[in-house]
Structure 1
Amino acid sequence: MAHATGDDCVMETRIRRVALASYVGSAIEYYDFFIYGTAAALVFPHVFFPSMSPLMATIASLGTFAAAFLSRPIGAAVFGHFGDRIGRKNTLVFTLLIMGASSVCVGLIPSTAVIGTAAPLLLISMRLLQGFAVGGEWAGAALMSAEQAPHGKRGYYCMFTQLGLGTALVLGNLVFLGVHGAFGDAETAFLQWGWRIPFLISAVLVAVALYIRLHLEESPVFAESAAEGHSGVPLAEAVRHQGREVVLAAGAVMGLFMLAFQVGTYFPNYAATHLHYDEDLILLVGVAGGVCSLVFVAASAILSDTYGRRRILALGAALALPWTLILFPLIQSGDPVRYGIAVIGTYGIIGIMMGPLAAFIPEIFAVRYRYSGAGLSYNVGGIIGGALPPVLSPVLLSSYGSWSITAMMAGFTVVSLVSALLLTETAGRGLGAAESPEPREPVVAQQRLAHAAC
């Protein structure tokens, strides 16, 4: 019988620490995005765009939400370059500090009634800065886990990066729910300063995540690659050598981003402004959706180790396609129960699509430009799939009716399904040289014995 060595147990402890760091960083990333999305849907039209009509205030508010996606590719390029050249760990420390500082600053911006047009300009500036940092965050967190996880359990350990979305959704909605409930009927006080509390809490979360990240070790895969020395620009290399994969990976995540930010931003706004649902109901449904997302992310990530990343991602996209056809009609029904089913069900599908991604996308790219390739594809998909639909939806609804929103969502889902099917399966691939898949089963058997002994 094989026994685990001391080195095996040290590696097990190390990857658990990395998984925790990736989980905390990802949770803060999504927390900052979701509290901003919630505020953009329910608060910012009144605080920063009070002189506009309700429709234009909503469009302007959701436009500031979308602004972060414009700076995400720049962040992906900048942090991807340094992540591929100076290391994953150091880069992630900078993304965390910038992301946290910009979120706290959002909570400190005076309203338009106090400082005039400078208020929305400052809001957009902080949002762009936040997007710049987030552009480098996900890829770095995913790579730190993927490059140190054992082959047969890479989906499992990368799962913790993806669990950040559901955790942030639950945490963000609970914080807003608690703050909103604490003010009760004092709506004016909530709009003046109560909504700022969730943003200021980011400072505490960032401090915890920073402490964890500063105690990480650099990825051994990166260290080995760096020792060989590389010339050229990593982003240019990724596009030149694996341009097809960059495009397909971006397409594969578009539907996921579309669903996540429609259900996290546009639908809550629609429920509040068109259906006049109570804000507490909207936030409680968001909490339930976050819990549902956590369950399905965990299941799909673990199953991707057995059945493959591409197959699980394609399954999620295939389920999403018919779902998008009934999603907005469920929302529009005016029935709070159907609204809850629509939102919670959408988060379940999002969880299926999200689960394998933190292992799948890093496995696609060669190590010397992996940070750049993963960051570029993920963020380009995020811009097109995440930024455009929430901003276009109120315009489409006003101009063409609800069918146009359904058609748009179905179109994004088709792009994701086709892109996922055109990608190559990567489960079991060695990350030291992404171009050369390695045999899987012997490695899996050995790693399972070592983990059991640890």
Structure 2
Amino acid sequence: MSPQPPAHSTTEAVSPAETERKTKRAKKAALAAFLGGALEYYDFFIYATAASLVFSQIFFPAGDPTVALIQSFAVFGVGYVFRPLGAFVFGHLGDKLGRKNTLVMTLVLMGGATFLIGVLPDFQTAGYWAPALLVFLRILQGMSAGGETAGASALTMEESPVGRRAFFPSFAISGISAGIVLASLAFLPVAAMSEEARLSWGWRIPFWLSLIVLIVAYLVRRSLEEPEVFEDKAEHHDLVKLPFAEMFRTHPAQFFQVTLMSFQTVTNTFMQAFGLAYATKVVGIPASTMLWVSILGSALAIFTQPVFAALSDKYGRKPLFITGVTGSAILIFVYFNVLSTGNIPMIFLTSSLITAGTYAMSNSIYPGWFPELFNVRVRYSGMAIGLQIGILCAGFTPSLGTALVGGEPANWGPAAWIVAASSIIATIGALWAKETYRTPLEQLGKPVHHPEAHGAVSR
């Protein structure tokens, strides 16, 4: 049963013209978030796919294939280590200088780093410089991703009309699903190549193609405006000098709630990276089959996520988020069981039930809910840093899963328990967090009083 709206949730009547104007701005912000998410996670997940399929043979010395795969996933995890730093840097810029220009920076950084990965020399050519340069570019990717989703979510939520603050931000997540689809499609012809062609030049093509998405996303994002709620604070010199410090002083509980809830992302990271490697290298399922599994689930999620977000606008954030993470914790055992047997139809079914069902249910809600927990002055920093510290754990779960499972197809239990434990942590955070779906925009978060900001008006 839905909670009754608080007494303060009544808002003044809004004219049809004003409603239309706000909706138009929200749609534009949602499109920019969709394209930005598509680029960011196309770039991010072509690395995950390449790490699963080819990087262990390209950038590391010959030896034990399992050790090389663990090294490849460890570099994948390095990107996650630097996501909190990116969240800190871009969160600060987003709360000080504005959402729009900061998001343009994250976009260009990710696109440039991804293209350069596509031109790196291999280990045979450059020796240990090859993995060193790969690590450096992976760091840039991680920093960019650390600021992207939080910024796009905050901006779109602030532009959204009353009662639709989860629906419009969810397009950032649908963009991420589209990016995963594009990444998988880009690797299908690569997976079909001869091994010699794939390892020498074929793997580079998906990295080069990211330039196309970058140009389209850049043009849309440059045309955005700053959210009015942020511009109002900027015009009155009512922003804070150190958003992270002020956020931690005024919103410590909300910060930890977001961090805990962010563990729900382990489900998708584990399925996309570890699941692909486990299926192809341990069970022996063709890589092209597993790429189609990823494509189907993510393609369906593009459409199911806005639906779940709209339901959370009607019934609340908590019920759907908790149902989603709980469902993922249960279904992941079914998924890895059928994966170990090589039952292709059941792999498609269970993967889609998680990716477009339970995981989509929780994943579609956080772009609206997480920024709602913070005051506008510290919103970008609070969501970005809290989200990325939680996600940091996701980056190393593929390495942990590979080490625990080894090369034994039947030993999938540790992998499933890693995902289930992460889902339990996310549930604890959701139970602790405040329900925000009926709170007016200007009343979100805790009060932030910054005397220096008021003094700036008179200077």
TM over 0.5: yes
CA spacing shift, 1:7–1:409, aligned 2, 3 Å: closer
Question: Is residue 419 from structure 1 mapped to residue 429 from structure 2 by the alignment?
Answer: yes
Q: Distance in 2 between matches of 1:217 and 1:172?
A: 30
**Per-residue deviation at 1:350?**
1.5
Structure 1's 71 and 6: CA in aligned 2 closer, same or farther, altered over 3 A? same
1:152-184 C-alpha deviation (Å, 9 max, x unpaired)? 111221121110122112111111113434x3x
Structure 1 residue corresponding to 2:34, chosen from 19, 23, 37: 23
What is the match of residue 191 of structure 1? 199
Question: Aligned ranges for residues 8-407 of structure 1 at < 5 Å?
Answer: 8-181=19-192, 183=193, 186-228=194-236, 229-255=238-264, 257-348=265-356, 349-384=358-393, 386-398=394-406, 401-407=411-417
Match of 1:409 among 401, 406, 419: 419
Secondary structure in 2 aligned to 1:51? coil
What is the TM-score of this pair, normalised by structure 2?
Answer: 0.90
Say which is worse superposed, 166-175 or 259-268, in terms of deviation.
Answer: 166-175
Contact 1:366–1:431 (Cα < 8 Å) also in 2: no
Amino acid at match of 2:254: E
Write the distance in 2 (CA, Å) between the matches of 1:403 and 1:335.
17
Structure-2 separation of matches of 1:13 and 1:96: 23
Q: Secondary structure at the match of 1:217?
A: coil
1:440 aligns with none
- Residue equivalent to 1:442: none
Change (3 A) 1:399 1:9: closer
Aligned-pair identity (%): 32
Q: Tell me the CA shift for residue 339 of structure 1.
A: 2.6
Q: CA deviation at 1:3?
A: 9.8
Larger mean CA deviation between 343-352 and 210-219 belongs to 343-352
Q: Deviations over 1:226-280 (max 9, x none)?
A: 233234411111112111111111111202x211111100011011111121121
Q: Distance in 1 between matches of 2:321 and 2:221?
A: 29
Contact 2:96/2:240 (8 A) holds in 1 = no
Cross-structure match for 2:6: none
Opposite residue 373 of structure 1, the aligned amino acid is G
CA contact (8 A) 2:86 2:147 kept: yes
In structure 1, runs of 5+ residues without a counterpart are: 438-454
CA 57–156 in structure 1, closer or farther in 2 if over 3 Å, else same: same
Q: Name the CA shift for 1:5/1:416 in 2 (closer, same or farther; >3 Å).
A: closer
The one-letter amino acid of 1:434's match is L
> Unaligned 5+ residue runs, structure 2?
1-12, 448-459
Contact in 1 for aligned 2:405/2:415 (Cα 8 Å): yes
Offset of residue 102 of structure 1: 0.3
Quote how far apart the aligned CAs of 1:5 are. 4.5
What letter is aligned with 2:116? C
1:86-110 CA deviation, whole Å, 9 max, x = no partner? 1000101111111110011111101
2:66–2:406: 8 Å Cα contact kept in structure 1?
no
Q: 1:37·1:65 contact (CA, 8 Å) conserved in 2?
A: yes
- Give, as a single letter, the amino acid of the residue that structure 2 aligns with 1:305: D
Retained in 2: the 8 A contact 1:84–1:369? yes
1:408 deviation in Å? 2.0
Q: Whole-Å Cα distance in 2 between the matches of residues 75 and 365 of structure 1?
A: 19
CA distance in 2, matches of 1:176, 1:241: 46
Distance 1:3 1:118, change over 3 A: closer
Quote the Cα distance in structure 2 between the aligned partners of 1:327 and 1:284. Answer: 15
1:428 is aligned to 2:430: no
Alignment-mate amino acid for residue 279 of structure 1 = A
- 1-structure distance, mates of 2:16, 2:272: 46
Amino acid at match of 2:251: Q
The count of corresponding residues between Structure 1 and Structure 2 is 431
1:43-82 per-residue CA deviation (whole Å, 9 max, x = no partner) reads 1011112413111011001111111011100010011011
CA distance in 2, matches of 1:280, 1:320: 24
User: Do the aligned partners of residues 142 and 50 (structure 1) sit closer, same or farther apart at CA in structure 2, a change above 3 Å counting?
Assistant: same
2-structure distance, mates of 1:323, 1:180:
28
Structure 1 window deviating more from structure 2 (330-339 vs 108-117): it is 330-339
- CA separation in 2, counterparts of 1:136 and 1:279? 32
Q: Secondary structure at the match of 1:429?
A: coil
Moved more, 386-395 or 79-88: 386-395
Separation of aligned partners in 2, 1:140 and 1:84: 9
